[in-house]
């Protein structure tokens, strides 16, 4: 079989039976990109190990290089060579390519006193407002202007502030962390996100010399320092990728053993597998799952950490389609996360969407027109189809469905998938999937 080269836009998948074998996951794309931003603020080089080979790393590296920062890759290790005087403007050509530019505003203000960053990009799964970021920068003392093409800001000296987020946004929490570590004085952040990737970033910043306390009740206290030094760290395994491959094994009637992602990063997802009747085996090195006796339906609501991760629900949708009965999936984080359902419906998944909060307590999308709850009927008979992948996580759900279908599928827009998964074609082929490029 021919592996898909990076950047390939089309995959042809012929179902080839149960997927079996080992997958070693690399560090999370949601962690590596933020670590790269942190590293540019140091006085000396930093090295990040276990980095994934994904499109978002390439985009973020290009952004940093446009600012005059050196980025050197050696296998799974990336070394960032900071500059004392980075450029203050992120070129508009990076508008919409990923979510990283807005995170650079605070660091650039601390380093050079001004910044311009293009608008936020990434998957079109719901609103990613810059309001939280802008309000935080303003609280630090910056003058901020939101333009049609991006955000411009300037400041003499950023000062610590008391900031309370109206929702525990991961991006906004990371933005405050990356800004507060070099601001003058103390910052107290209330309502912070507590996802493992956020903690991982805080630990890396602490290793660089930042003064950070993780307090109870979603509070983070940061005391600004004069300078950050270079540091080295090894990223933890990607919990989204680990869950995706576990689901791929179960859905196809096989068994995938995921290596390199600790149990504590998967605890809520593993519990869902238990509730569905799957067999799960966990060691210090790996996790594996199978369903020789079939799957039971469940009701699952996504939530912020430590709840069921929103990025986990796309592979879960395919898993629910193979459970014997009616399941409910309630999305509470992004109002448009279920945009991928149409693609799965084309492949035979029997699912209906509702604006009501089903399967859990009323969420912040209650009494809106957002279709954020899904009722899935199993066991759905999956069939091959021609599908255009709308985003990175939806892409993997389409791949899983195609692998379990009764005929061939053609998936376009695969660049989305390659933006977030480490060499996915290579991994899937190693598990026995008949995957070819055109």
CB neighbours of residue 103 within 10 Å: 24
| Residue from 56, 58, 74, 123 carrying the catalytic annotation | 123
The H or E element that residue 438 is part of is none
Contacts 24+ apart (CB under 8 A), 117-122: 117/90, 117/150, 117/151, 118/90, 118/91, 118/92, 118/94, 118/149, 118/150, 119/95, 119/149, 119/150, 119/151, 120/96, 121/95, 121/96, 121/97, 122/98
Alpha carbon 144 to chain centroid distance?
A: 27
CA distance 282 to 194: 24
Say which residues have a Cβ less than 8 Å from residue 45's Cβ, sequence separation at least 6: 39, 79, 80, 81, 82, 230
CA distance 307 to 131: 25
Candidates 273, 373, 375, 272; CA nearest to 332 is: 373
CA distance 258 to 287: 5
Bond prior to 306 in cis (omega within 30° of 0)? yes
Tokens of 297: 């339906």
Do 330 and 302 meet the contact criterion of CB atoms below 8 Å apart? yes
CB neighbours of residue 49 within 10 Å: 16
324 as an active site residue: the answer is no
Catalytic positions, written as ranges:
123
């Amino acid at each position: 079989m021919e592996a898909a080269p990076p950047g390939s836009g089309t995959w042809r998948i012929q179902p080839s039976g149960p997927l079996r074998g080992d997958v070693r996951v690399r560090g999370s794309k949601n962690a590596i990109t933020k670590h790269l931003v942190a590293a540019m603020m140091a006085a000396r080089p930093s090295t990040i190990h276990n980095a994934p080979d994904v499109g978002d790393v390439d985009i973020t590296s290009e952004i940093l290089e446009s600012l005059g920062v050196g980025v050197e890759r050696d296998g799974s290790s990336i070394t960032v060579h900071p500059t004392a005087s980075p450029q203050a403007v992120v070129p508009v050509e990076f508008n919409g390519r990923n979510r990283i530019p807005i995170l650079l505003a605070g660091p650039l203000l601390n380093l050079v006193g001004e910044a311009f960053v293009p608008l936020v990009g990434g998957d079109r799964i719901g609103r990613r407002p810059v309001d939280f970021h802008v309000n935080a920068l303003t609280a630090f003392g910056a003058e901020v202007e939101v333009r049609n093409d991006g955000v411009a800001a300037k400041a003499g000296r950023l000062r610590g502030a008391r900031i309370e987020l109206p929702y525990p946004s991961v991006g906004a929490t990371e933005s405050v962390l990356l800004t507060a570590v070099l601001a003058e004085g103390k910052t107290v952040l209330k309502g912070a996100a507590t996802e493992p990737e956020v903690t991982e970033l805080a630990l890396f910043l602490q290793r660089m010399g930042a003064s950070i306390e993780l307090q109870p009740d979603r509070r983070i206290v940061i005391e600004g320092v004069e300078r950050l030094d270079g540091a080295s760290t090894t990223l933890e395994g990607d919990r989204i990728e680990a869950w995706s491959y576990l689901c791929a094994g179960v859905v196809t009637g096989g068994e995938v053993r995921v290596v390199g992602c600790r149990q504590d990063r998967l605890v809520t997802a593993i519990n869902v597998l238990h509730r569905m009747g799957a067999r799960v085996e966990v060691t210090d090195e790996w996790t594996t799952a199978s369903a020789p006796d079939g799957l039971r339906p469940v009701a699952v609501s996504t939530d912020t950490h430590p709840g069921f991760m929103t990025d986990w629900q796309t592979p879960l949708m395919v898993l629910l389609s193979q459970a014997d009965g009616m399941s409910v999936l309630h999305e509470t984080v992004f109002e448009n996360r279920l945009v991928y359902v149409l693609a799965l419906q084309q492949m035979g998944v029997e699912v209906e969407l509702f604006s009501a909060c089903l399967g859990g307590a009323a969420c912040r999308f209650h009494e809106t027109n957002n279709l954020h709850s899904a009722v899935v009927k199993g066991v759905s008979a999956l069939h091959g189809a021609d599908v255009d992948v709308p985003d990175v996580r939806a892409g993997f759900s389409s791949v899983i469905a195609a692998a379990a279908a009764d005929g061939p599928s053609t998936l376009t827009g695969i660049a989305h998938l390659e933006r977030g998964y480490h060499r996915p074609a290579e991994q899937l082929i190693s598990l026995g999937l008949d995957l070819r490029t055109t």
